[in-house]
Amino acid sequence: MPNSQQSTKQLLDRIEDLIDKQHFEALKSLLEETRTSDVAEVVEVVDEVARQILFDLLGPKEAGEVLEKIDEATRNEIVEDMTSNELGEIVSTLPPDEAADIMADFSQKRTEEVLDQMDDEESDQIEKLLCFDEETAGGIMTPVLLEINIKQTVRDAIQAFRQGDPDDDFYSVFVVDNNRKLKGVVSIQELLRYPRNTPIVNVMDTDSPTVPAEADQEEVANIFRKNDLIVMPVVDNNHILLGRITVDDVVDVMEEEAEEDVMVMAGTHPDEFDTRRSWQAAKVRLPWLLTCLTCAIISASFFQGIFRQHFMDIDWICILMFMPAIAAMGGNSGMQTSTVVVRGLATGDLAGLDIGQVFLREIRIASLVAMICGSVAGALAIGWLCVFPDVTLPSELAGANNSIDIVSAQTLAKIPVNHAIALGCSVGLSIFCCVILSTIIGLSLPFLFRKIGVDPAISSGPLVTTANDALSYVVYFSLAFLLLQKIS
């Protein structure tokens, strides 16, 4: 385990020990000495009581930084327990863009109450940012920037830089006209190379890329990457300067977009991490699993229609026709779980490294998914098997010299109702068992690979799929034959 993870785990153990012993003064001193990013990781894994104690001991500035860094599910739980006065005091310590990110999920009433606790200038800035979609340039920009008039000089630009907030990272000065239309950009480094009385118009770069406030954040990231930018101005349709986007914002965007792409490829979405409720996460995963199940049942019907007349054992052909559905559900549910687990291991979050916590979360979600998919599949299977039409036997079976009795052959061609119910139940139970077992495999293999020093991402590919397919067949055939034997 990397040293950073070790130190964070030690911090968690130390904090839990101090809370258990009620040594709150020592805990407060420890929090003051600890980076807020490490405190945020601890806050995500401790229980609600410990979380409340930690926030009571943190100062408003530190609490704001922790609130901005924790995951959305944890943040929502903390915010629900805070008064608007407490939130206003904490959020007001943050830069406007970070404050807007936190307040984006507030209700309209809660937002107004929190904004009322801030000064007019700050609340106006946040209100303007909240008007933009979170995933646009306007949603990720900050309105805090350095600007000077086009008629001013390098001396004025340097003076503006000196008067700026030392906590903000300013990389450039933006040059505007009297109407605040952007005319050019000057880097701080460039300012130091010219005499102080040089007109800024002679120094500024007029070809620097800009981005409209409505542009998608992925487009913003592409512009940064193509042009090797550190900062880029955001403008409206009239080219009036609205704010700036810095490279650290773009790094976050790239991480979000990459995570979303990976999660969507596995049939889920980062939205499932917005809450700790298992049902909400299950709802995110279910649409693709149910779509896959429907497609598999449709393919089974084609399989039955094409090959049924060429088999004399109708039970066997009905067992075979549902194999794609069983294998697909096991493979896809296992892939979803392994993708979520690998994502947690890759980010290095304590919540993702705790196998016990991850296991409980994934099993709860898998149980809901398994019950719904198993019930739907079982009902569809029973309904489909019970409404099979009679089959016209092939001519080679219906010939006068054929040794097979035509009546018995036609009897075999229509499955009995009790067999249909038994096979339908085996399909539903198999999907339930396969989803649960596939979840356990998809959960265990990444942790096992990490333990032996192999990249956990390997386990989310062909290995999980192959293991789940093999397991699905064993479970399905075992249940099908067991139930059919009991009614024979």
Give the strand order in the sheet containing 147-149. Answer: 147-149, 172-176, 182-187
Q: 146: phi > 0 → left, psi -120 to 50 → alpha, else beta; which? A: beta
Cβ–Cβ < 8 Å for 308, 412:
no
Q: What was the pLDDT predicted at 482? A: 84
**79 or 183, which is more confident:** 183
**Angle at which helices 60-69 and 96-103 cross, to 10°:** 60
Please state which of the ranges 256-260, 387-391, 473-477 shows the lowest mean pLDDT: 387-391
User: What's the mean pLDDT when you consider all of the chain?
Assistant: 80
| Residue 392 vs residues 121, 201, 306, 308, 395: alpha-carbon distances, Å | 81, 88, 12, 10, 9
Task: Measure the CA–CA gap between 60 and 93, rounded to whole angstroms.
Answer: 7
- Residue 304 pLDDT > 60: no
Q: What is the pLDDT of residue 398?
A: 43
Give dist(CA 153, CA 444) in Å, integer: 63
**Contacts with 196 (C-beta within 8 Å, 6 or more apart), sequence order:** 153, 154, 155, 158
| Domains assigned to the chain | 3-134 (1.25.60.10), 147-246 (3.10.580.10), 266-487 (1.10.357.20)
- Residue 149: its pLDDT value, please? 94
Q: What is the mean pLDDT of residues 199-215?
A: 93
Please give the pLDDT value at position 409: 40
Q: Where in 159-249 does DSSP place strands (E)?
A: 172-176, 182-187, 211-212, 231-235, 241-246
Bridge partners for 245 per DSSP: 232
Contacts of residue 282, defined as CB under 8 A and 6 or more positions apart, other chains included, come to 365, 368, 369, 372
Q: Which residue has the higher pLDDT, 320 or 434?
A: 434
The answer, yes or no, to whether residue 348 has pLDDT greater than 70, is no
> Distance between CA 122 and CA 115 in Å, rounded?
9
**According to DSSP H, which parts of 22-91 are helical?**
24-33, 36-45, 48-57, 60-69, 72-80, 84-91
Whole-number pLDDT of residue 272: 61
In this structure, the dihedral spanned by the alpha carbons of residues 300, 306, 312 and 313, taken in order and rounded to 10 degrees, is 0
| Interval 18-55: pLDDT, tens | 999 888 899 999 998 899 988 988 888 888 888 889 98
Residues 6+ apart with CB under 8 A from 343: 259, 262, 263, 352
**Tokens coding 52:** 């409340």
The confidence score (pLDDT) of residue 305 equals: 57
Burial 23-62 (b: 16+ CB within 10 A, else e): eeeebbebbeebebebbbbbbbbbeeebbebbbebbeeeb
Predicted pLDDT at 209: 93
Q: What is d(CA 174, CA 182) in angstroms, rounded to the nearest whole number?
A: 7
Q: How far apart are CA 140 and CA 156, in angstroms?
A: 28
Residue 396: is its pLDDT beyond 60?
no
Mean pLDDT of 441-463: 76
Alpha-carbon dihedral of residues 155, 157, 163, 167, nearest 10 degrees? -140
Q: Residue 266's pLDDT band (boundaries 50, 70, 90)? A: low
Query: Taking a C-beta distance cutoff of 8 angstroms, is the pair 89, 67 a contact?
Result: no
Place of tokens 């075999």: 412
* Lowest mean per-residue pLDDT among 126-140, 291-305, 356-370, 385-399: 385-399
Higher pLDDT, 473 or 141: 141
Phi, psi for residue 182 in degrees, rounded to 5: -70, 130
- pLDDT above 80 (res 195): yes
Using a 10 angstrom Cβ sphere, with 0-12 exposed, 13-18 middle and 19 or more buried, the burial of residue 221 is buried
The better pLDDT of the pair 208, 416 is held by 208
When pLDDT is averaged across residues 349-370 and rounded to a whole number, the result is 77
Instruction: For the chain, give the percent of residues with pLDDT over 70.
Output: 81
Secondary-structure percent of the chain, ordered helix, strand, coil, rounded to 5? 70, 5, 25
Residue 148 has pLDDT above 90, yes or no: yes
Is the pLDDT at 255 greater than 60? The verdict is yes
pLDDT for position 419: 79
Q: Is the pLDDT of residue 394 over 50?
A: no
In the chain, the percentage of residues whose pLDDT exceeds 90 is: 22
- Write out pLDDT tens, residues 74-97: 888 888 888 888 888 898 888 888
The answer to whether 14 touches 30, Cβ cutoff 8 Å, is yes
Checking if the pLDDT of 166 tops 90, the result is: no
Query: What's the CA dihedral at 87, 93, 94, 100 to 10 degrees?
Result: 40
Task: Please tell me the predicted confidence (pLDDT) of residue 422.
Answer: 84
Which of 302 and 450 is assigned the larger pLDDT?
450
Contacts of residue 39, Cβ cutoff 8 Å, sequence gap at least 6: 31, 54, 58, 62, 66
* pLDDT for position 479: 86
pLDDT (0 to 100) of residue 241: 95
Whether the pTM exceeds 0.75: the reply is: no
Tens digits of residue pLDDT in 329-339: 888 888 888 88
What's the confidence (pLDDT) of residue 88? 87
Judge whether residue 210 has pLDDT over 50.
yes
Q: How many Å apart are CA 380 and CA 394, to the nearest integer?
A: 28
